[in-house]
Amino acid sequence: MVDFSKLSRPKSKSAPTDPIEIFKKTPNTGGAPNDLWKGQADALAAWDRARTDNDNLIILNTGAGKSVVGLMVAQSLINEGVENVLFACSTIDLVEQTAREAEKRGLSYTTRTSGSSSNDGFETGKSFCIYGLFSRAARSSASLSIAILYP
């Protein structure tokens, strides 16, 4: 269970909130691509234009780089000062894949599976949480992918 009493508002930062700018500024520490694919860039630009809308949906085909797009959106929200940003994944494999991609990009993150967190970054408002939402339906569905949840 997440201890919400430890959550705090991040200090004011000058970190970028444009997800494409975040991608350009993140280090590539593990062989990740240096450039966004056109579909990723288009999706991030559209999300950024609509970021103040109540609901946003990004749809990309299998293999189109949803993890990278989701990570840039999550980091953008953290840089903006939004708390409680969850990157929800349907399988443990997807949690681990997303964490590896975040690691390659030098992003600060917390993972949470099986009731335990990898660090206190999420609870202290310093990072987003890559969270496993596992159900029998999710484990058997290849079409369920990721979701970024925030207040």
Q: What would the pLDDT profile of 16-63 be if each residue is shown by its tens digit?
A: 999 999 999 988 777 777 899 999 999 999 999 999 988 888 888 888
The CATH number of residue 85's host domain is 3.40.50.300
pTM as predicted: 0.81
pLDDT score at 32: 74
Provide the pLDDT for residue 142.
46
Structural domains counted in the chain? 1
Q: Domain limits at 77?
A: 15-149
Biggest CA–CA distance in the chain, Å, is: 42
Residue 5 included in any domain = no
Name the residue with tokens 């953290």.
78
Let me know how long the chain is: 151
Kindly tell me if the per-residue pLDDT of 66 is higher than 60.
yes
Mean pLDDT over the full length of the chain: 83
The token duo for 89 is: 């994944």
Q: Are 98 and 65 in contact (CB under 8 A)?
A: no
Residue 5 pLDDT > 80: no
Helix (H, G, I), strand (E, B) or coil at 13: coil
Cβ neighbors of 144 (< 8 A, separation 6 or more) are 90, 137, 138
Query: Looking at residues 92-98, what average pLDDT do you find?
Result: 90
Check residue 7 and report its DSSP letter. -
